[in-house]
Structure 1
Amino acid sequence: MGRDDLQAVTAGLVCAVVGFTSSFAVVLAGLRAVGATQAQAASGLLVLCLTMGLGCIVFSLRTRMPVTMAWSTPGAALLATTGATAGGFAGAVGAFAVCGVLLALCGAVPWLEKLVERIPAALASAMLAGILLTICAKPFVDLPGAPWQIGCVLLAWLVTTAFVRRWAVLAALAAALVVMGVDGAFARTGATTLAPHLEFVTPHLDATAMVAIALPLFLVTMTSQNLPGVAVLASFGYRLGLRGPLLYTGAAGVAGSLAGAHAINLAAISAALAAGPEAHPDRDRRWIAGVTCGVVYVALAPASAAVVAVALVAPQGLLAAVAAVALFGTFAAAAASALEPVATREAAAVTLVVAGSGVTLGGVGSAFWSVIAGLLVLGVGAVARRRATPKQ
């Protein structure tokens, strides 16, 4: 293996480490919010690491492209703001499975993928921005109650952003670990909880969970992860069809849901770390970075129980602050994408506000109602324009 290939290995390692450390707190917050126990959350994290790692390895080797996969961070953020439904975690698991079926169907039935693409991009981005708004605001809400703990995380992120933006979230996590050490949190972690194992959950098909979780989870995973993931690869000259990845991630989602995993997808933001020229000067050798990323994810899987155990003893609001800084960039991009087109700006603004409100109607959370509200405003606007157009 030459020097350039080692560069690709390093890029894959960085891609996996940054992907894991920058968003595991979001995943744990999401799973816990919909009712997962400590063991179930650890099981979900374990399966997510395994399935996305295997996906990276298989597709990178088969296509000779740097294909990277990730857990659905926007989907986890959605779960964190949705909360538990009447069906409990079993109902959420049923929704995860349905989301997997929908993803696989988009791969098997091309017109379904086209149908998803017809959803106004501004509304999808606005829904995501509204979901993320609550999470991104949380450290500032919690700051008065834990000023030095949360302040350390925010300061570490801010200072590192000025010099090495790629490592800013990792620096925030490192600051959180230091705070936990000073607080004595690690001493409260029981050694018996650190062994990884699967916790199987029998799914319950609950109508409310289908509307509140399954459909929004499918929507944000497709529109903010899978479609942009293909676009990122295309920007570096790679033409990856969605059929294979969607069939795999959908099937993995159905199987993984039984052990508490919510959804995996093509990586979008982190994909550039493995697909760009920094990974390898030869575009045909960057697949090595994709394989390495997958191997590291698989290697991280056994640490899932330890990660959850440590997260549970963290001071209140500390890891929520890490999750928030990890999502600042995603929130900014989603909000900008939502509000940029003038024609749909008002509808997108309504969508964002409703999604960020956290309103629950009929047991269904704000993510679903935000899209309904946005589509309603779009429809009213279309009627108003037709009435204002002079008749010939």
Structure 2
Amino acid sequence: MQPFLAGIVAALVGFAGAFTVVLAGLRAAGADEAQAASGLLAVCLASGVVAVVLGLRYRMPISIAWSTPGAALLISAGAPAGGFPAAVGAFLLCGALIVVAGLVPALARLVAAIPSHVAGAMLAGVLLPLCLAPVRAVAEVPLLAAPVVVVWVLVGRFARAWAVPAALVVAVGLIVLTGPAVVGAAPTFVWTPPAFEVPALVGIGLPLFLVTMASQNVPGMAVLAQFGYRPPLRPILGATGLATLAGAPFGGHAVNLAAISAALAAGPEAGAPERRWVASVVNGVGLAVLGLGAGLATAVVVASPPVLIEAVAGLALLGALASSLAAAVADVEGREAAAVTFVVTAAGVAFLGLGSAFWGLLAGAAMTLLHRRRRVREPALQ
């Protein structure tokens, strides 16, 4: 029973720990309540199907999930010119680039060549505003936010994986007790015709692809390798890219390798190594089933103070913020470029219609190249 139990736990923790980030991101990108519920349903079903297919095909614990950092990127980017249809066009670009990365190894290598300190700093800049939400929530709605934070701290002391789900349960309970009646309809797929606007494609689609690759697919492969599994990357990129393309018109933003929940399905808790693939398959089925509750989840989010849901999402992303900050400052020579990337991204200011994540990545890459050339020139002069 170990693989089954591990798969169920991974599905529950993965869904409860981050669905608020997805809904907040889709709403920030301009989705209405029905479109946001459809997007959550789409990424749940797409992730579940890909996880089942890959698990059965390769007999490895290949866990698939939505891009949580990508959803956080949507929050920081805000609604693009052209509204949610323009965001859907950006989702399609992201899916197409993931497929191309699987077909053209050079593109995957190019993404992997982005300096880790720049990628980490960009992600940290994206996550910072959201991770500040718990502090703002305690100041703005203390009677609602303080119990959520306290429960997160106490449960995290003894069962870290369940800290965010426990905080979410408390938040939902307080919303139901103090807010209007919450009625969630069964989620349905809502088709959103895409609009291909250059600012959205460059400011959202390209950073979404880079964040998904650098913060989900690359770490996801590293987690699997840590436990002795080395599945082929190209078919995984192809499958997740196609799933992203299929889910995008219904509001799904990105599907990719799981990074956090991957350890639950690939680790010793999932039983014997040769049977751990069962955990990833069960995780996929569980995630698809949980997606059927997207309508109720969206109704809860809509009924709550926005800062409270952002606070729960921020608590879920604190670990990712810590990891990205550590990656940003690990290279001493790259710290200045990382700092530039971080402040430009965290500023949240758009130029020429392009989001701050794009400019942060561009500024960090330029600083890295500038300092690299200076270091090469100095020994030559000596």
Partner of 1:155: 150
Partner of 1:290: 280
Amino acid at match of 1:371: L
- Aligned match for 1:354, one of 324, 330, 344: 344
CA distance in 1, matches of 2:219, 2:231: 12
Listed as ranges, the matches of 1:134-213 within 5 Å are 134-185=129-180, 187=181, 189-190=182-183, 193-213=184-204
Listed as ranges, the matches of 1:28-39 within 5 Å are 28-39=23-34
| Secondary structure in 1 matching 2:189 | coil
Partner of 1:239: 230
| % identical equivalent positions | 49
1:197-252 CA-to-partner distances (Å, cap 9, x unmatched) read 11001111100001110000000000110011111001100011111111111111
- Aligned match for 1:371, one of 356, 361, 373: 361
CA distance in 2, matches of 1:358, 1:260: 23
Listed as ranges, the matches of 1:210-289 within 5 Å are 210-280=201-271, 282-289=272-279
CA distance in 1, matches of 2:59, 2:365: 41
Partner of 2:295: 305
CA distance in 2, matches of 1:88, 1:56: 31
Partner of 1:76: 71
Shift of 1:109: 1.0
Listed as ranges, the matches of 1:30-109 within 5 Å are 30-109=25-104
1:169-218 CA-to-partner distances (Å, cap 9, x unmatched) read 01110110221132034x1x24xx51221100111110000111000000
| Secondary structure in 1 matching 2:381 | coil
- Aligned match for 2:318, one of 319, 323, 328: 328
Amino acid at match of 1:198: F
1:385 aligns with 2:380: no
CA distance in 2, matches of 1:223, 1:120: 10
CA distance in 2, matches of 1:96, 1:259: 10
Shift of 1:142: 3.1
| Secondary structure in 2 matching 1:265 | strand
Shift of 1:166: 1.1
CA distance in 1, matches of 2:280, 2:370: 46
Amino acid at match of 1:89: F
- Greater displacement, 138-147 / 359-368: 138-147
| Secondary structure in 2 matching 1:375 | helix
CA distance in 1, matches of 2:20, 2:309: 6
Amino acid at match of 1:334: S
Amino acid at match of 1:321: A
Shift of 1:321: 1.0
Amino acid at match of 1:355: T
CA distance in 1, matches of 2:191, 2:306: 29
Amino acid at match of 2:40: L
Q: TM-score, normalised on structure 1?
A: 0.95
Amino acid at match of 1:97: L
Partner of 1:3: none
CA distance in 2, matches of 1:312, 1:86: 23
In the alignment, structure 1 segments of 5+ residues that lack a partner are 1-5
CA distance in 2, matches of 1:255, 1:283: 32
Q: TM-score, normalised on structure 2?
A: 0.98
- Greater displacement, 378-387 / 308-317: 378-387
Shift of 1:390: 4.5
Shift of 1:149: 0.8
CA distance in 2, matches of 1:153, 1:140: 12
| Secondary structure in 1 matching 2:250 | coil
- Aligned match for 1:27, one of 13, 22, 25: 22
| Secondary structure in 1 matching 2:232 | coil
CA distance in 2, matches of 1:390, 1:254: 49
Amino acid at match of 2:364: G
Shift of 1:134: 0.6
Question: What do you get for the CA RMSD once the two structures are aligned?
Answer: 1.2
- Aligned match for 2:13, one of 18, 23, 29: 18
CA distance in 1, matches of 2:253, 2:177: 33
